[in-house]
């Protein structure tokens, strides 16, 4: 099936998310949409999938114009989509999720789930998916959930499959498995639209690359182009993909974690017996697939997790059992993983957000009164220093772009003298320019002699920043490896394989020559 | 590198198996809620039932003397049927449990529940066959036995909690039953008569009757919340249903027209809720509360201006008489309770079954639940979220309206000011206590109906507890049940959140 988009434009108020986009997806082809976060890739695909009405332009299937009033129409036309955030109902079984919207029924509308189970098994066998139709979706690992999404599309006879940032939640090994599935689908004559900002995968899988920037198609690229070329096309200026940094000069280990256990509401050990140290002037990166205890680890240090045992010491002082305020005043800087939820108060101004943790201390307060003039001049200075692009320091922080919001969080956390700096997903959702800036500030803080803990699910970021890498899997420490460790080894460790075993396996794979 | 890790390459990773679904288990956090709660209740029970036991005995009437002769055949048939069913289910339970070795996780939930129900039916049928019409219990010994059992169960729960195990659910069930028996014996024995007695059959039958509007209300709540709309307006739907049923039935001289009018009135209230909250995205709880206040005011106004001026022309609806189901109503004790109902009562049974089957076994129900859990996911498979919500909310309103008609067509023969008396809110509690499940909500509503009826029965025979305290019983039980006994229940994830596309 040949799919064409002609002059698709989508406006949200005054914002033009897609500006006259033309795109042709040929049958049996993997077509990559490359672009930064916020470039308009997902909007375009939501238009194609019938979730948004295009403001202008038309969609052609096999040369005939079509109008999708909703996803139902798109599916009927043979378009399937795997969303970045899976559209699965956690408390339903796999079969119920697959059946939904496309139910096989017996008399009087009663569900015929056996029929759906049969279909799932047929597809599972054809593509080598190992999916139990009666498993509850919430109990499945994300890799399997993604396969359920693919099954959902295939059951509806999709000819074009849109994958929106499909690798964001996967381990490197799961990513390889997904790429293999894509090749298989392609061999079956299906077209794939693969949306990503990860250059490596794009180069590996695609037949054609279309680069989108600020809602416009800025050109197409060949999969053989170098990563720097692709990145430059994506960002619109030349970028250096590597961070220049001096080797670390670690001092004393001032931050120590011993036998840390965090138990969640359900009694699960989400952090399970962690012990590690971080030295002054060193970056320890915590690697792992999302949801393996990283969030709980950082929150335990900050003091917002309720059930924590073990010991966390900073400069010899026990942090466990202290209030968040005491932890902060002990010199802990904390960049939370979700800046909108935990990092900022969206409706407050930039200057107010800059002093969220210092509002009651001199020079910003005296007695019960706050000193607006001091707060404003502080904000002016920080906005300047951190290059926050804003019309005014009185603008609500929620109106800024993600990159600028993150700069506000960083400015606040780095404005105190720190004894420990923790940053969780510091560059999630940022553009390449902001990423560069954030990384530089993190390394600058390290060079100041602060122990730094970075939590990131992006292997690129981990490799870029880390002096040592700790890999977490299901709340346990798989191992701590030096900065130069290969991606293959890290990938295996992220799936729970111990360090030495991972190295052996990775070597074998290399000898086998299956990896580039 | 100056630092080392104390982790010695352990961590026991579960191998290279991303497909592995097990969760990291290990010691669990066990709440002391059960242990402490049961202990306090056991101590209370010991003080009341054992130390403060009255000198009199407590009598419990089982059957009404009038219909003992008529139902011998029915009693025998029931006895045999109940025996066969309970034996069969018990065997099935035993086989499932021991056969797999992995405990009762593999036993479907309905098996224990149905077994217990069958055994109860068996006991009642046996009483019917033996023509026992009254049981008399000495309050002293029974009180002591109950107290000892309660203390033992509470002790067991504390012991389990200390050993980091959760208290199994049967402990709670047995505790509640024993507490109830102890309480009934204690309170009846303190009655004013020389040989105080109450009719157990009457108590239960009355409970079912009082539960009828609650069941309809909570079904309305189930339909709305399962689709993602919080329906606080149940109270208003009941009230307007009652009002419309009274007026329309009076004007048309047809009670069935009143019944239909009640459904329409409930749906009308829902229409406002649906339009304002789904289309205009106003906070659902605020809309619901405002609707309740509005309808209370509106019906009070119309009542005091129009209905009191012309009660014969506007507020004299007929009565929906109780109808006996042939044979079934002859079953001793159970028959008169379950199968001597008005049309509204039978509609209640039908509604519970239809809503349950519909929600969990049909295409419609799958879509409804999907919309209430993850509307965006439903949208991406081509389900119209807001249309589904809209129709479900209307349907919920109609059901609650029928429940409202119970007040004016069955229980009282005229409308009076604010006659729903907060039952819409109790229905909401029943919905939560019943975990958003039609059958659970039905059982919870029966429990609240029981508390309500017990309160009035006890007030009649006289009790040491001031009647004001007894009047608190249904509400105290509601708070207790919702706060303490619900356990971990999960409401539909998108309940209360309006859906905006994109």
Instruction: Choose from A99-108, A238-247, B289-298 the range with maximum mean pLDDT.
Output: B289-298
Inspect the interface and report whether the beta carbons of A130 and B25 lie closer than 8 Å: no
Instruction: State the pLDDT confidence band at B221, using cuts at 50, 70 and 90.
Output: very high
The percent of residues above 70 in pLDDT, for chain B, comes to: 88
Query: Would you state the pLDDT for residue A92?
Result: 94
Indicate the class that CATH gives domain A244-331+421-430+448-516. alpha beta
**Phi and psi (nearest 5°) for A495?**
-95, 10
Q: Where are the domains of chain A?
A: 3-235, 244-331+421-430+448-516, 339-416
Q: Quickly state the pLDDT bin for B26 (edges 50, 70, 90).
A: very low
Residues of chain B contacting residue A505, judged by C-beta atoms under 8 Å apart: 16
* Residues B118-134 pLDDT 10s: 888 788 777 777 777 78
At residue A369, the pLDDT reads 87
Indicate which of B15, B32, B363 best probes the interface with A, i.e. most A CBs within 10 Å of its own CB: B363
Please give the average per-residue pLDDT across A187-203, as a whole number: 88
pLDDT for the residue numbered A264: 84
Does pLDDT of B216 surpass 50?
yes
Instruction: pLDDT band for B25, please (50, 70, 90 cuts).
Output: very low
Nearest residue to A39 via CA among A333, A394, A401, A466: A401
Residue A100's pLDDT band (cuts 50, 70, 90): very high
Give the pLDDT confidence score for residue B245 in this predicted structure. 95
Closest CA to A204 of A221, A179, A187: A179
pLDDT number for residue B12: 37
**Which residues in chain B are contacts of A282 at CB distance < 8 A?**
3
pLDDT bin (cut points 50, 70, 90) of residue B29 is low
- The contacts of residue B412 (CB under 8 Å, 6+ apart) are B419
- DSSP-derived letter for residue A288 is -
Which of A149, A267, A276 to mutate: most B Cβ within 10 Å? A267
Q: Is the per-residue pLDDT at A338 higher than 70?
A: yes
Q: Tell me if chain A has a CB within 8 Å of the CB of B389.
A: no
pLDDT of residue A380: 93
Is the minimum CB–CB distance between A1 and chain B shorter than 8 Å? Answer: no
* pLDDT (average), residues B185-195: 83
Whether B442 and B435 have beta carbons less than 8 Å apart is answered as no
Report the pLDDT averaged over residues B54-79.
Answer: 70
pLDDT band of B4, cuts 50, 70, 90: very low
Residue B28 in this model has a pLDDT that exceeds 80: no
Containing A96, the helix (H) or strand (E) segment is helix A94-99
Non-local (6+) Cβ contacts of B347 within 8 A are: B402
Does A215 score more than 90 pLDDT? no
A451-465, B330-344, B424-438: least confidently modelled range: B330-344
* Core vs surface per residue A109-141: b (16+ CB within 10 A) or e: ebbebeebbebbeebbeebebebbbeeebeebb
| Mean pLDDT, chain A, integer | 88
Pull the structure tokens for residue B76. 């025998």
Least trusted range by pLDDT, from B23-37, B42-56, B313-327:
B23-37
pLDDT of B487 reads 59
CATH topology of domain A3-235: Rossmann fold (3.40.50)
**Which residue in the set B30, B369, B377 is minimally distant from A88, CB to CB?**
B377
In terms of Cα–Cα distance, which of A482, A254, A495 is closest to B11?
A: A495
Compare A232 and B275 and report the one with higher pLDDT: B275
**What confidence score (pLDDT) does residue A259 get?**
94
A120-125: which pairs have CB atoms within 8 A and are 24 or more residues apart? A120/A94, A120/A95, A120/A151, A120/A155, A123/A151, A123/A154, A123/A155, A124/A151
- Cβ–Cβ of A496/B24 closer than 8 Å? no
Q: Report yes or no: B355 and B212 within 8 Å, Cβ to Cβ.
A: no
Range scoring the smallest mean pLDDT among A1-10, A471-480, B116-125, B344-353: B116-125
A233, A261 Cβ separation under 8 angstroms: no
How far is the C-alpha of B440 from the C-alpha of B432, rounded, in Å?
Answer: 9
In this complex, is the C-beta atom of B501 within 8 Å of any C-beta atom belonging to chain A?
yes
Structure tokens at B149: 């059992």
Question: CA B356 to CA B360: how far, in whole Å?
Answer: 6
pLDDT of residue A472: 93
Say if residues A423 and A455 touch (Cβ distance below 8 Å): yes
Say whether pLDDT at B103 is over 90: no
| Adjacency order of strands within the sheet including A15-25 | A15-25, A3-12, A56-61, A64-66
Q: What percent of chain A clears pLDDT 90, i.e. is strictly above it?
A: 49
Minimum Cα–Cα distance from A479: chain B residue: B9
Question: What Å distances lie between residue B463 and A207, B188, B403, B458, B470, CA to CA?
Answer: 85, 7, 32, 6, 9
Q: Could you read off the pLDDT of A108-146 as tens digits, one per residue?
A: 889 999 999 999 999 999 988 889 999 999 888 888 999
Q: Which of A286-295, A382-391, B49-58, B475-484 has the lowest mean pLDDT?
A: B475-484
Distance in angstroms (rounded) separating the CA atoms of residues B75 and B275: 52
Which of A87, A474, A492 has its CB closest to that of B24?
Answer: A474
Least confident range from A194-203, A372-381, B485-494: namely B485-494
Count of CB pairs separated by less than 8 Å, A with B: 177
pLDDT at residue B300, rounded to an integer = 95
Average pLDDT over residues B22-51: 75
Q: What percent of chain B has pLDDT over 90?
A: 39
Considering only the beta carbons, identify the residue of B18, B25, B363 that sits closest to A103: B363
What does the DSSP 8-state code read for residue A272?
A: E
Residues paired with A420 in a beta bridge: A332
Other C-beta atoms within 10 Å of A238: how many?
A: 9
pLDDT tens column, A432-451: 778 888 999 999 999 999 99
Checking phi first, is residue B102 left (phi over 0); if not, alpha (psi -120 to 50) or beta?
alpha
Two domains, one topology: A3-235 and A244-331+421-430+448-516: yes
Confidence check: pLDDT of A224 > 60: yes
Q: Give mean pLDDT, residues B472-495.
A: 74
Is the minimum CB–CB distance between A309 and chain B shorter than 8 Å? no
Question: In terms of DSSP H, where are the helices of A141-290?
Answer: 142-155, 172-187, 199-205, 227-235
CB A180 within 8 A of CB A500: no
pLDDT score, position B11: 36
Q: Tell me whether B378 touches chain A (CB under 8 Å).
A: yes
Bridge partners of residue A468, in order along the sequence: A284, A482
Query: How many angstroms separate the CA atoms of B501 and B388, rounded?
Result: 14
Place B324 in a pLDDT band, splitting at 50, 70 and 90: confident
Residues A28, A208: contact at Cβ < 8 Å? Answer: no
- The DSSP annotation for A505-516 comes to HHHHHHHHT---
Quick one: pLDDT band at residue A411, thresholds 50, 70, 90? very high
A68 interfacial to chain B (CB closer than 8 Å): no
More reliable by pLDDT, B104 or A77: A77
Amino acid B70: pLDDT: 53
Average pLDDT, chain B: 83
pLDDT at B457 over 90: no
Q: Tokens 């309940």 map to which residue?
A: B495
Tell me, what's the pLDDT at B107?
A: 65
For residue B130, what are its two tokens?
């033996």
Lowest mean pLDDT among A150-159, A483-492, B25-34: B25-34
The set of residues, in sequence order, having a beta carbon less than 8 Å from that of B279 and lying 6+ positions away, is B386
pLDDT at A298: 94
A164: which strand partners?
A: A195
Q: How far apart are CA B392 and CA B220, in angstroms?
A: 9
- Predicted pLDDT of residue B485: 60
pLDDT score for B5: 37
Assign 3-class secondary structure to A36-82: CCCCCHHHHHHHHCCCCCCCEEEEEECCEEECCCCHHHHHHCCEEEE
Least confident of A312-316, B82-86, B165-169: B165-169
Contact residues on chain A for B382, CB-CB shorter than 8 A: 70-73, 75, 101
Per-residue pLDDT at B16 exceeds 80: no
């Amino acid at each position: 099936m040949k799919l064409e988009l002609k002059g698709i434009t989508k406006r949200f108020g005054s914002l033009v998310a897609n500006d006259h986009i033309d795109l042709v997806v040929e049958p049996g082809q993997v077509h990559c949409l490359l672009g930064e976060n916020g470039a308009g890739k997902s909007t375009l695909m939501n238009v194609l999938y019938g979730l948004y009405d295009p403001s202008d332009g038309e969609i052609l299937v096999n040369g005939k114009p079509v109008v999708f009033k909703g996803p139902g129409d798109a599916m009927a036309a043979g378009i399937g989509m795997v969303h970045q955030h899976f559209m699965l109902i956690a408390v339903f079984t796999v079969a119920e999720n697959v059946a939904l919207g496309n139910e096989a029924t017996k008399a009087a509308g009663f569900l015929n789930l056996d029929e759906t189970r049969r279909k799932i098994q047929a597809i599972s066998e054809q593509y080598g998916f190992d999916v139990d139709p009666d498993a509850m979706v919430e109990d499945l690992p994300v890799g399997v959930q993604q396969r359920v999404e693919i099954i959902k599309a295939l059951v509806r006879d999709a000819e074009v499959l849109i994958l929106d940032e499909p690798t964001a939640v996967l381990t490197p090994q799961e990513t390889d498995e997904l790429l293999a599935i894509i090749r298989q689908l392609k061999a079956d004559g299906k077209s794939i639209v693969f949306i990503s900002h990860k250059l490596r995968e794009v180069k590996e899988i695609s037949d054609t690359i279309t680069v989108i920037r600020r809602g416009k198609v800025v050109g197409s690229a060949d999969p053989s182009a170098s990563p720097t070329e692709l990145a430059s096309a994506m960002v619109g200026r030349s970028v250096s993909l590597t961070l220049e940094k001096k080797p670390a000069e670690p001092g004393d280990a001032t931050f120590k974690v011993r036998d840390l256990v965090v138990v969640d509401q359900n009694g699960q050990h989400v952090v399970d017996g962690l012990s590690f140290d971080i030295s002054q002037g060193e970056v320890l990166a915590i690697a792992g697939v999302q949801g393996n205890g990283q969030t709980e680890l950082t929150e335990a240090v900050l003091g917002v997790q309720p059930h924590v045992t073990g010991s966390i010491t900073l400069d010899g002082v026990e942090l466990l059992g202290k209030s968040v305020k005491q932890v902060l005043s002990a010199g802990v800087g904390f960049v939370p993983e979700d800046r909108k939820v935990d990092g900022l108060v969206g409706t407050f101004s930039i200057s107010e957000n800059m002093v969220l943790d210092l509002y009651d201390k001199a020079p910003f307060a005296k007695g019960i009164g706050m000193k607006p003039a001091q707060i404003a001049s502080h904000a002016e200075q920080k906005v300047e220093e951190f290059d926050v692009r804003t019309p005014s320091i009185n603008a609500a922080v929620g109106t800024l772009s993600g990159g600028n919001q993150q700069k506000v969080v960083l400015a606040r956390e780095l404005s105190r003298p720190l004894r420990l700096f923790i940053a969780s997903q510091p560059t999630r959702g940022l553009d390449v320019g902001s990423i560069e800036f954030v990384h530089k500030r993190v390394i600058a803080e390290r060079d100041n002699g602060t122990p730094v803990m970075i939590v990131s699910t992006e292997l690129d970021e981990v490799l870029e920043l880390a002096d040592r890498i700790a890999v977490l899997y299901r709340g346990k420490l798989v191992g701590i490896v030096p900065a130069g460790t290969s991606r293959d080894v890290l990938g295996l460790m992220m799936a729970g394989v111990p360090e030495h075993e991972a190295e052996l396996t990775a070597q074998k794979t290399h000898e086998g020559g299956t990896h580039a | 590198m100056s630092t080392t890790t104390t982790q010695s390459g352990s961590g026991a990773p579960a191998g290279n198996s991303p497909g592995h679904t097990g969760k990291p288990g290990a010691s669990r956090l066990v709440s002391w809620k059960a242990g402490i709660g049961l202990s306090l209740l056991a101590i209370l029970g010991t003080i009341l039932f054992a130390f403060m036991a009255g000198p009199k005995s407590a009598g419990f009437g089982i059957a009404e003397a009038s219909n003992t002769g008529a139902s011998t055949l029915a009693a025998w048939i029931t006895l045999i049927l109940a025996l066969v069913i309970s034996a069969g289910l018990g065997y099935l339970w035993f086989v499932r449990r021991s056969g797999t070795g992995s405990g009762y996780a593999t036993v479907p939930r309905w098996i224990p529940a149905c077994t217990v129900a069958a055994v109860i039916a068996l006991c009642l049928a046996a009483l019917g066959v033996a023509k026992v019409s009254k049981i008399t219990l000495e309050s002293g010994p029974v009180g002591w036995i109950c107290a000892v059992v309660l203390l033992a169960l509470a002790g067991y729960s504390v012991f389990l909690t200390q050993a980091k195990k959760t208290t199994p659910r049967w402990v709670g069930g047995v505790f509640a039953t024993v507490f109830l028996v102890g309480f009934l014996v204690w309170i009846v024995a303190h009655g004013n008569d020389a040989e105080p007695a109450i009719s157990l059959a009457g108590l239960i039958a009355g409970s079912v009757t009082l539960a009828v509007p609650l069941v309809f209300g909570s079904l309305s709540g189930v339909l709305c919340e399962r689709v993602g709309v919080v329906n606080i307006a149940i109270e208003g739907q009941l009230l307007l249903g009652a009002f419309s049923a009274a007026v329309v039935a009076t004007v048309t001289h047809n009670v069935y027209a009143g019944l239909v009018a009640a459904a329409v009135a409930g749906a009308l209230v829902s229409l406002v809720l649906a339009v304002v909250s789904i289309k205009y995205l106003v906070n659902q709880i605020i809309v619901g509360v405002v609707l309740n206040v509005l309808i209370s005011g509106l019906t009070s106004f119309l009542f005091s201006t129009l209905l009191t001026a012309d009660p014969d022309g506007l507020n004299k609806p007929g009565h929906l008489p109780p109808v006996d189901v042939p044979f079934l109503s002859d079953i001793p004790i159970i028959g008169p309770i379950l199968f001597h109902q008005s049309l509204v009562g039978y509609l209640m049974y039908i509604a519970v079954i239809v809503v349950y089957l519909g929600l969990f076994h049909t295409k419609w129900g799958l879509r409804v639940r999907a919309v209430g859990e993850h509307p965006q996911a439903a949208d991406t498979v081509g389900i119209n979220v807001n249309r589904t919500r809209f129709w479900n909310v209307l349907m919920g309103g109609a059901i609650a309206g029928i429940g409202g008609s119970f007040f004016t067509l069955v229980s009282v023969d005229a409308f009076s000011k604010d006659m729903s008396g907060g039952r819409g809110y109790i229905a909401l509690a029943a919905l939560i206590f019943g975990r958003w499940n039609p059958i659970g909500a039905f059982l919870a509503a029966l429990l609240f109906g029981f508390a309500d009826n017990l309160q009035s029965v006890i007030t009649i025979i006289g009790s040491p507890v001031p009647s004001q305290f007894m009047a608190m019983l249904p509400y105290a039980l509601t708070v207790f049940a919702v706060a303490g006994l619900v356990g971990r229940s999960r409401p539909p994830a998108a309940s209360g959140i309006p859906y905006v596309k994109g």
